[in-house]
């Protein structure tokens, strides 16, 4: 077993330094399991990267050889660009010396960063000091404007842990083919044109986690309207390579995707809150050509029948995360 596999736990809450709203860390065992039953993955692409915990978890576990990330949000994309660059040390130092005060929060919230390093720092600062990690205009500071709560603005900013995780991740930069700030459609084109993918586009594995159908405007700075969700579905039909899609489990998503032979519903509970009363949906839909293929080839096995709700706990009981890591890394080149 390689050192990176030993170190990796899919359950580690610090897989990503970002506490991303709607983050999909809990899907990692399921996705790792699908990959382990399919072919090796030279490139795993996440065009709606957000906190990128799925890509990072799979990369560290040796389940995929390389990753590529993109996100339309300038703060988020700048964060990942910097982490996987020579400037990661500078960012880690900025995190170590950050002043976590309400005045600073207000100043950074208003700022319009013009450089990547500034945007990267503002991203992690606001993500770790704002309510539920939300970066959009509506989110206030943890502890409120009066800081009278038992949780204060600095309670999620463990600077040593964050800085060391940034440095640890930066060591993986040679396995990060690109990080871009762009619309997902541009990422489709970029992957097609990347020299790395020539002659092996069919081996690329895409992981799509688009903004939710519902309530996304309360969580993200970029979202889809109805046309955006429809357009994405149309473009997905023409994707080259394998793909996994996750969406919030709501009627519109089921309407769009439940007819797909790779459709499954997954039990998942989120920690992110919209506000003190409203909770995000606790189930997710997952659609994948790999699930469809496994159903065709092997019958059901561990893959639930169409429409059945899949318990992630069941998956972890069947195959522990370390065992999955081993299986992936044994097969990795």
Ligand X SMILES: C[S@@+](CC[C@H](N)C(=O)[O-])C[C@H]1O[C@@H](n2cnc3c(N)ncnc32)[C@H](O)[C@@H]1O
Q: What is the CA radius of gyration of the chain?
A: 19
CB of 208 to ligand X, least distance (A): 9
* 23 forms part of the interface with ligand X (CB under 6 A): yes
Provide the strand spans (E) within 188-282. 205-208, 242-248, 263-267
CB of 108 to ligand X, least distance (A): 18
Residue nearer to ligand X on the CB measure, 47 or 304 = 47
Q: Give every strand in the sheet of 44-46, ordered side by side.
A: 176-181, 67-71, 44-46, 205-208, 242-248, 283-288, 263-267, 309-310
Residue nearer to ligand X on the CB measure, 50 or 143 = 50
- Spatial distance between the Cα atoms of 158 and 226, rounded to a whole number of angstroms: 39
Residues within window 214-253 making contact with ligand X, judged by CB under 6 A: 220, 222-223
Residue 224 Cα distances to 172, 215, 243, 277, 308, angstroms = 31, 11, 20, 24, 27
For strand 67-71 and strand 176-181, is the pairing parallel, antiparallel, or unpaired?
A: parallel
* 76 forms part of the interface with ligand X (CB under 6 A): yes
Q: Which of 53, 132, 170, 325 binds ligand X (CB under 6 A)?
A: 53
* 50 forms part of the interface with ligand X (CB under 6 A): yes
Residue nearer to ligand X on the CB measure, 28 or 326 = 28
Bridge partners, 279 (sequence order): 273
Q: Segment near ligand X (CB under 6 A), from 46-54, 154-162, 271-279, 307-315? A: 46-54
* 47 forms part of the interface with ligand X (CB under 6 A): yes
Residues that bind ligand X (CB under 6 A): 20, 22-24, 47-48, 50-51, 53-54, 71-73, 76, 183-184, 209, 211, 220, 222-223
């Amino acid at each position: 077993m390689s050192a990176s596999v030993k170190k990796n736990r899919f359950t580690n809450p610090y897989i990503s330094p970002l506490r991303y709203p709607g983050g999909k860390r809990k899907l990692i065992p399921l996705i790792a399991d699908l990959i382990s039953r399919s072919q090796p993955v030279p490139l795993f692409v996440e065009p709606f990267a957000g906190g990128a915990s799925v890509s990072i978890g799979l990369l560290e576990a040796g389940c995929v050889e390389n990753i590529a990330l993109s996100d339309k949000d300038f703060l988020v994309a700048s964060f990942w660009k910097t982490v996987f660059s020579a400037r990661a040390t500078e960012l880690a130092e900025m995190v170590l010396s950050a002043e976590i005060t309400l005045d600073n929060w207000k100043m950074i919230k208003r700022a319009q960063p013009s450089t990547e390093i500034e945007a990267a720092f503002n991203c992690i600062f606001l993500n770790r000091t704002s309510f539920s990690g939300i970066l959009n205009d509506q989110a206030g500071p943890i502890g409120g404007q009066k800081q009278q709560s038992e949780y204060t603005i600095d309670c999620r900013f463990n600077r040593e842990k964050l800085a060391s995780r940034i440095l640890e991740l930066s060591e993986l930069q040679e396995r990060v083919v690109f990080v871009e700030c762009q619309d997902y459609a541009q990422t489709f084109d970029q992957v097609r044109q990347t020299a790395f993918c020539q002659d092996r586009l069919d081996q690329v594995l895409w992981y799509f986690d688009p903004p939710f159908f519902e309530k996304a405007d309360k969580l993200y700075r970029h979202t889809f309207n109805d046309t955006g969700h429809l357009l994405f579905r149309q473009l997905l039909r023409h994707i080259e390579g394998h793909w996994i899609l996750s969406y919030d489990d709501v009627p519109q998503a089921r309407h769009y995707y439940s007819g797909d032979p790779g459709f499954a519903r997954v039990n998942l509970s989120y920690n992110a809150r919209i506000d003190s009363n409203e909770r995000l949906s606790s189930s997710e839909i997952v659609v994948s050509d790999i699930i469809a293929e496994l159903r065709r080839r092997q019958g059901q096995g561990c893959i639930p029948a169409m429409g059945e709700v899949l318990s992630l706990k069941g998956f972890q009981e069947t195959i522990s995360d370390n065992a999955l890591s081993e299986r992936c890394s044994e097969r990795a080149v």
